[in-house]
């Protein structure tokens, strides 16, 4: 179980594609044919609950990201792919660590929605 866990985590760390659980399962199974879908889902949820990975909800499917630094995401409304928005979002963290009327902001999640360049073609 521990080896499977670290393999799933290692795979997620190695990609920037924000795969869904189904994609993670398909990719991990290529190297670890004995792993079950249930294990992959359980491992992903476990990491998510511990805050070691983040989940992004897009088009009925949950996507996973091992990059838990604050960064914004672009979600394509057509294909459902999730992309990082970093360079254009240099001011997205403007309110981070700011005291607001309702409390101190520790982290943030920003999702942008649109049609990605692949789908615009
Ligand atoms: Zn798209
Ligand atoms: Zn991301």
Instruction: Yes or no: say if 113 and 75 are a contact pair by the CB < 8 Å rule.
Output: yes
Q: What is the pLDDT of residues 34-92, one digit of tens each?
A: 999 999 999 999 999 999 999 999 888 999 999 998 899 999 999 999 999 998 988 88
Confidence at residue 89, expressed as pLDDT on a 0 to 100 scale: 87
E-assigned strands of 7-60?
A: 54-58
Q: Please identify every residue whose CB atom is under 5 Å from ligand 2, which is an ion.
A: 65, 84
pTM of the model: 0.88
pLDDT of residue 1: 58
Q: Which one of the ligands is nearest to 116 CA?
A: 1
**What single-letter DSSP state applies at residue 54?**
E
Residues 73 and 111 sit within 8 Å (Cβ to Cβ): yes
- Residue with tokens 């009925």, as numbered in its chain: 60
How far is the centre of ligand 1, averaged over its atoms, from the C-alpha of 120 (Å)?
7
Distance CA 19, CA 25 (A): 10
């Amino acid at each position: 179980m521990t080896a499977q866990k670290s393999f799933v985590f290692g795979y997620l760390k190695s990609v920037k594609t924000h795969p869904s659980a189904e994609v993670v399962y398909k990719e991990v199974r290529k190297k670890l044919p004995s792993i079950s879908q249930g294990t992959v889902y359980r491992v992903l949820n476990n990491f998510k609950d511990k805050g070691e990975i983040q989940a992004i909800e897009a088009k009925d499917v949950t996507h996973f990201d091992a990059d838990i630094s604050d960064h914004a995401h672009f979600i394509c409304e057509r294909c459902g792919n999730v992309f990082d928005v970093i360079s254009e979002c240099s001011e997205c963290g403007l309110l981070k660590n700011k005291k607001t009327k309702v409390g101190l902001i520790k982290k943030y999640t920003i999702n942008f929605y649109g049609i990605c360049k692949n789908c615009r073609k």
